[in-house]
Structure 1
Amino acid sequence: MAETRALVDRWVEGWTVSRRMLSARDGDGWLVEVAAETRSREYISASPSLPELHRMVTATSAPEVWLTLVGDLDAQSRAAVAGLDPVTSDERMMTTTIAPIALPTNVIIEEDGQVAHARIEVDGELAARGQAALSAADVVFDRIETTPEFRRRGLGRLVMTGLTAWATDNNAATGLLMASVSGRKLYDSLGWSEVAPIVTLRGR
């Protein structure tokens, strides 16, 4: 549990750099000021105690307030969050040790401080994109997306390779990400390891 919490802490630090968000410690977890169209703030915690979970559930008081829990939920925890609406399930926190690799010639990298934005264009059209943020020796991969009409061409793998090349050039050693159900197949194929399941809920 302590190891997972430490990885969540490191992921939050990189994720907030990636999206230029403010965050603050909140109990054993975090409160992130997301300020996005989908949500205003998000509580993030790894395997919280039952009293701590009840506190966060009470604070998740509206649809624009989200709660992300990393780790398996027991029966009491599932009962505690039953009054919230699910946003995602079956996602996974994942990690890997990254090593130097060549930047693919068709991946365009643009740096913005500690963040790199990668993209692949096909005939002048955006086909795939992603970004990554440095935090100490970690790199957090974020928003890895392939445009629907360009899927199943290996472009997501190329974006990840390009961002990995940039990260290792900047002395990163560990990769972290939160994987959607659709993204897990890609990360599995790249040798990433699952840390813990994730569930995200929002207020009613």
Structure 2
Amino acid sequence: MTETRALVDRWAEGWSDSRRMLARRDGDSWFVQVAAETRSREYISASPSLPELRRLVNATTAPDVWLTLVGDLDEPSRAAVAGLDPITSDERMMTSSIRPSPAPANVRIDIDEDGQVAHARVEMDGELAARGQAAVRAGDVVFDRIETTPEFRRRGLGRLVMTGLMAWAADNDATTGLLMASVSGRKLYDSLGWSEVAPIVTFRGRGA
């Protein structure tokens, strides 16, 4: 549990760097000012104690306030979040050693650097086919927004984006990769040799 919490701390810092968000410790958890269309703010916690979880649930007051929990939920924890609406389930926190490999020569991966954040793009026929970004902090690299445009899926472009970003991360002295994987994304990361750390579930408030 202690190791998972440490990984979540490192991920939260890198994720906030990646998206240029304000993040701070809040008790044993994290508070992030997301300011996105989907939510205004988000609480993130790894296996919180029951009193801490109840405090977070009470703070998740509206549909634009989210609560992400990393780790298995026992019966008392499930009861504590019963008043919230689930958004995602069956997602996973994952980690990997950074092992760069050369990208295929026939596909170009464009990488733009913005300080310690890199944005990768793959274009096909003049259109954006796949993208992703990553942020390096103190030996860690957090991968974020790895996406393939629907009409270009099943061509291995997500793997290309990850390959390009991992090579960039290695060049910037990153040794450990961290990410939060969706259900569909897990297949890609499994194929790249990533390991699961813990399950993730996200809720939002119901409001009045």
Counterpart-to-counterpart distance in 2, 1:95 and 1:159: 17
Q: Structure 1: how far apart are the matches of 2:137 and 2:103?
A: 21
CA distance in 2, matches of 1:84, 1:119: 36
Task: Give the TM-score normalised by structure 1.
Answer: 0.98
Match status 1:62 vs 2:38: no
Q: Which amino acid aligns with 2:138?
A: A
- Residue 102 of structure 1, CA deviation: 2.4
1:133–1:139: 8 Å Cα contact kept in structure 2?
yes
Write out per-residue CA displacement over residues 15-50 of structure 1, whole angstroms, 9 at most, x where no aligned residue.
Answer: 000000001111111000101111011000000000
Alignment partner, residue 113 of structure 2 = 111
> Structure 1 residue 140 and structure 2 residue 134: aligned?
no
**Does structure 1 retain, via aligned residues, the 8 Å contact 2:60–2:67?**
yes
Counterpart for residue 173 of structure 1: 175
Let me know the Cα RMSD of the aligned residues: 0.8
Is it true that 1:74 corresponds to 2:74 in the alignment?
yes
CA distance in 2, matches of 1:43, 1:104: 40
Superimposed CA distance per residue, residues 46-100 of structure 1 (whole angstroms, 9 cap, x where no aligned partner) = 0000000000000000000000000000000000000000110000000000123
- Deviation per residue, 1:138-190 (Å, 9 max, x gap): 00000000000000000000000000000001110000000000000000000
Q: Which residue of 2 is the match for residue 17 of structure 1? A: 17
Q: Distance in 1 between matches of 2:12 and 2:137?
A: 10
Structure 1: gaps (5+ residues) = none
2:188 aligns with 186
- Give TM-score scaled by structure 2 length: 0.97
In 2, Cα distance between equivalents of 1:101 and 1:184: 20
Unmatched runs of 5 consecutive residues or more in structure 2: none
SS at match of 2:179: strand
- Letter paired with 1:141: F
Please give the secondary structure, in 1, of the residue aligned with 2:51: helix
Please tell me whether residue 101 in structure 1 is matched to residue 101 in structure 2: yes
Q: Give the percent of matched residue pairs that are identical in Structure 1 and Structure 2.
A: 81
| 8 Å CA contact retained: 2:139, 2:175 | yes
1:130 to 123, 129, 132: 132
Match of 1:201 in 2: 203
Q: Secondary structure at the match of 2:5?
A: helix
Q: Secondary structure at the match of 1:67?
A: strand
